[in-house]
């Protein structure tokens, strides 16, 4: 693990793009960390953009959601570049995908073609790797043993055919009895080693991308979900810090009450923490999670910051989020412990939702910037709407939308949906207010709102790439409260034209967001 830089990256005026690596173009069934990622970093730098924000980069489970990962510290092996593996000598040219890439992330093609290629790369490593490569992997394994050994065994057990959630495993494995665990490690030694190989390669490829970004002056902004997936190595290996009952089943789960995105609220289903147990341990597990994310990224968006003050606790048997109650989070004590262990925390607080004074107070005492979203800016009284540009403080990050929002074009052109909390009249009023704010006829509403975000007083402005490309609802990344069709968007090769880069660069310069510029008074 590398040292965390003791800096605050949010105090300079800058702009960036939100794009998950799975959405990058390329010949394969999914975006990856190889040449397309490095090309995207060069595009950002050429346009004067200084942030590349991503969603969580852990290995995903059912539903492909980056927020439901098998591990909060592991990397997603699907993101490995086969081209880079070929450069290392672990694949032959005929193992590389040919022809055009899928226009959406294709999980079936990942399973059918990419996963066998990754297995082939491991077999070639086992058969041909020299001593320096083997020593490099073993050093990585030793340095990350605290989480890697449990994760690798967890995945090996699932790959063995025990594909149910871990609470469906044999009692001894579910309860982590030492001798049965030792026998499982021996029996599955090669599969465990394969999972270690993927994580080692992820570490190397990520390091190459980050080095290129640093050379270009592009910072990486990560995303750390407050909750972890139930079917994960995190929960299986650390059952004592979660609210679990008989057989390791959750007694309560996470979510939010009815809000902007859903009349029924959202039942996320993640297990909740026993914060009293974590407090007694000095928040050790959580601090290591945060350290791991900050080792990968220059800064981190802390998802659902509200949950550190209070969280919506839903009985596990409840099918919706309507039934629930608020339970208390760890508050400032956790962040004091984290700062004591890690130093300055370059954190962006995702403070969207039912924002109360105690949440605002914690955010401001910690000095974390919060978020402002232009899609929320045009409803109600502009004087009281904190998302309206006239109310943006410098210490915040403004977005046109997030991964949970529709695209700007989809939002502007769309109609009220059955699940929407907005009426048709409210939608019309918001459109009219948006047009008054930008002073145009809305023909290029995406560029209008990008310009509005960039001209904001907020020190940092970040725009989803879908908005830069002017795409409609078909390019939406996620529809909260739905289970199908999410997290699959990719942009096509050649979509980032010189014209788009020049237009972005012009807005960056015009709004004073070139490197080294300070915010206007």
Helix, strand or coil, per DSSP, at residue 124: helix
Which of 399, 348, 410, 409 shows the shortest CA–CA distance to 376?
A: 399
DSSP code for 382: T
- Say yes or no to pLDDT of 242 above 90: yes
Helix, strand or coil, per DSSP, at residue 395: coil
Question: In the annotation, is 303 catalytic?
Answer: yes
- Say yes or no to pLDDT of 228 above 90: yes
Burial 107-137 (b: 16+ CB within 10 A, else e): bebbeeebeebbebbbebbeeebeeeeeeeb
Confidence class for position 343, pLDDT limits 50, 70, 90: very high
Query: How many residues can be counted in the chain?
Result: 521
What would the two tokens of residue 185 be? Answer: 């490690």
Residue of 76, 84, 150, 303 marked catalytic: 303
- Assess contact for 223 and 397: CB atoms under 8 A: no
- Say yes or no to pLDDT of 406 above 50: yes
Question: In the annotation, is 106 catalytic?
Answer: no
- Assess contact for 273 and 289: CB atoms under 8 A: no
Confidence class for position 60, pLDDT limits 50, 70, 90: very high
Model pLDDT, residue 515:
80
Q: What are 464's strand-pairing partners?
A: 18
Of the CA atoms within 13 Å of residue 257, those in its CB half-sphere come to 12
CA 34 to chain centre: 19
- Assess contact for 153 and 188: CB atoms under 8 A: yes
- Say yes or no to pLDDT of 417 above 70: no
Which of 294, 260, 498 shows the shortest CA–CA distance to 401?
A: 260
Model pLDDT, residue 261:
61
pTM reported for the whole predicted model = 0.94
* Distance linking the first and last C-alpha atoms of the chain: 40
Q: What is the pLDDT of residues 112-153, one digit of tens each?
A: 989 999 999 999 999 999 999 999 999 999 999 999 999 999
Computed over every residue of the chain, the mean pLDDT equals 92
Count, in order, helices (H) and strands (E) of the chain. 19, 12
Residue of 8, 123, 259, 404 marked catalytic: 404
| pLDDT (mean) for 219-238 | 97
Q: What is the pLDDT of residues 279-299, one digit of tens each?
A: 999 999 999 999 999 999 999
| pLDDT (mean) for 20-41 | 96
Residue of 350, 351, 406, 467 marked catalytic: 350
- At residue 290's C-alpha, the angle toward residues 257 and 288, to 5°, is 120
Which of 378, 362, 491 shows the shortest CA–CA distance to 18?
A: 491
CA distance 302 to 327: 19
């Amino acid at each position: 693990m590398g040292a965390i830089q003791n800096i605050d990256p949010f105090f300079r005026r800058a702009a960036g793009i939100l794009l998950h690596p799975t959405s990058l173009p390329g010949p394969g069934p999914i975006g990856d960390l190889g040449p397309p990622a490095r090309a995207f970093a060069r595009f950002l730098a050429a346009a004067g953009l200084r942030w590349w924000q991503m969603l969580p980069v852990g290995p995903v489970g059912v539903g492909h959601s980056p927020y439901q990962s098998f591990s909060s510290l592991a990397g997603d092996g699907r993101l490995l570049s086969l081209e880079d593996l070929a450069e290392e000598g672990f694949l032959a040219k005929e193992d590389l995908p040919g022809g055009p890439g899928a226009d959406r992330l294709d999980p079936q093609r990942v399973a059918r073609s990419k996963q066998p290629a990754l297995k082939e790369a491991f077999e070639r490593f086992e058969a041909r790797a020299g001593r320096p490569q083997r020593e490099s992997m073993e050093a990585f394994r030793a340095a990350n043993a605290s989480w890697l050994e449990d994760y690798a065994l967890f995945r090996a057990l699932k790959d063995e055919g025990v594909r149910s959630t871990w609470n469906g495993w044999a009692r001894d494995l579910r309860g982590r009895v030492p001798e049965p665990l030792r026998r499982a490690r021996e029996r599955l030694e090669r599969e465990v080693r394969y999972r270690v190989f993927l994580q080692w390669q992820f570490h190397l490829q990520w390091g190459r991308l980050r080095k290129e970004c640093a050379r270009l002056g592009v910072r990486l902004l990560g995303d750390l979900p407050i909750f972890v997936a139930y079917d994960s190595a995190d929960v299986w290996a650390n059952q004592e810090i979660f609210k679990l009952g008989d057989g390791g089943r959750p007694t309560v789960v996470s979510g939010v009450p009815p809000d902007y995105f859903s009349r029924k609220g959202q039942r996320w289903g993640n297990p909740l923490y026993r914060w009293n147990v974590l407090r007694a341990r000095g928040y050790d597990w959580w601090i290591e999670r945060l350290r791991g994310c900050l080792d990968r990224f220059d800064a981190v968006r802390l998802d659902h910051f509200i949950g550190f003050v209070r969280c919506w606790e839903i009985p596990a048997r409840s099918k919706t989020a309507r039934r629930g109650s608020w339970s208390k989070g760890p508050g400032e004590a956790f962040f004091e412990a984290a700062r004591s262990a890690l130093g300055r925390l370059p954190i962006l607080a995702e403070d969207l939702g039912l924002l109360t004074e105690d949440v605002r107070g914690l955010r401001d005492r910690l000095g974390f910037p919060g978020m402002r979203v232009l899609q929320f800016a045009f409803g109600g009284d502009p004087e009281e709407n904190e998302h309206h540009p006239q109310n943006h403080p410098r210490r915040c990050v403004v977005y046109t939308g997030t991964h949970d929002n529709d695209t700007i074009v989809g939002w502007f052109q769309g109609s009220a949906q059955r699940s929407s909390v907005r009426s048709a009249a409210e939608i019309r009023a918001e459109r009219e207010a948006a047009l008054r704010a930008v002073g145009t006829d809305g023909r290029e509403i995406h560029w209008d709102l990008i310009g509005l975000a960039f001209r904001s007083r907020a020190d940092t402005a970040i725009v989803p790439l879908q908005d830069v490309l002017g795409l409609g609802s078909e390019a939406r990344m996620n529809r909260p409260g739905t289970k199908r069709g999410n997290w699959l968007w990719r942009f096509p090769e050649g979509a980032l034209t010189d014209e788009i880069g020049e237009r972005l660069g012009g807005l960056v310069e015009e709004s004073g967001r070139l490197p080294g510029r300070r915010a206007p008074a």
